[in-house]
Amino acid sequence: MNYYKYDIEKLKDKNSFIKNASLYYNKFVFKELVVLNNKITSKSFKKSLKEIRERYKDVLISIIKNLFESSKSGSDSLQEIINSLRKIRENFINSLKQRYIILSYTLEVKTPFLIGAGIPSIDEIGFYWLRNYGIPVIPGTSIKGCFKSCLLDVLKDYLEEIFGTEDKMGKVIFLDAIPLGEICLGIDFQTPHFQKYYIDNKPPNDVYNPVPLSFLHVSKGRFRLDILIDKDEGNIADKIKNHIKIFLEEYGVGAKTSMGYGRFKIINQNS
**Could you tell me which of 185, 205, 209 has the C-alpha nearest to residue 197?**
205
Q: How far is CA 40 from the centre of its chain?
A: 33
pLDDT value, residue 190 = 82
Hey, is 156 helix, strand or coil?
Answer: helix
Is residue 154 within 8 Å of residue 235, measured between CB atoms? no
Q: How far apart are CA 234 and CA 231, in angstroms?
A: 7
Q: How far apart are CA 144 and CA 142, in angstroms?
A: 5
> How are beta strands 100-109 and 178-190 bridged, if at all?
unpaired
Confidence check: pLDDT of 97 > 80: yes
Count of positions (residues) in the chain? 271
pLDDT value, residue 213 = 80
Confidence check: pLDDT of 109 > 60: yes
Structural domain boundaries of the chain? 2-270
Q: How far apart are CA 266 and CA 174, in angstroms?
A: 16
Is residue 146 within 8 Å of residue 255, measured between CB atoms? no
The separation between the first and the last C-alpha atoms of the chain, rounded to the nearest angstrom, is: 61
Dihedral angle computed from the Cα positions of residues 91, 146, 130 and 18, in that order, rounded to the nearest 10 degrees: 130
Alpha helices in 106-174 (DSSP H): 140-151, 159-163
Exposed/middle/buried for 136, CB within 10 Å: 0-12, 13-18, 19+?
buried
pLDDT value, residue 218 = 94
DSSP 194-237: -HHHHHH-PPP-TTSPP--EEEEEEEEEEEEEEEEEETT-HHHH
- Segment 201-217 shows an average pLDDT of 76
Q: How far apart are CA 78 and CA 76, in angstroms?
A: 5
154-185 pLDDT, tens per residue?
A: 888 888 888 988 888 899 999 999 999 888 88
Is residue 178 within 8 Å of residue 89, measured between CB atoms? yes
Q: Which of 50-64, 104-118, 196-210 has the highest mean pLDDT?
A: 104-118
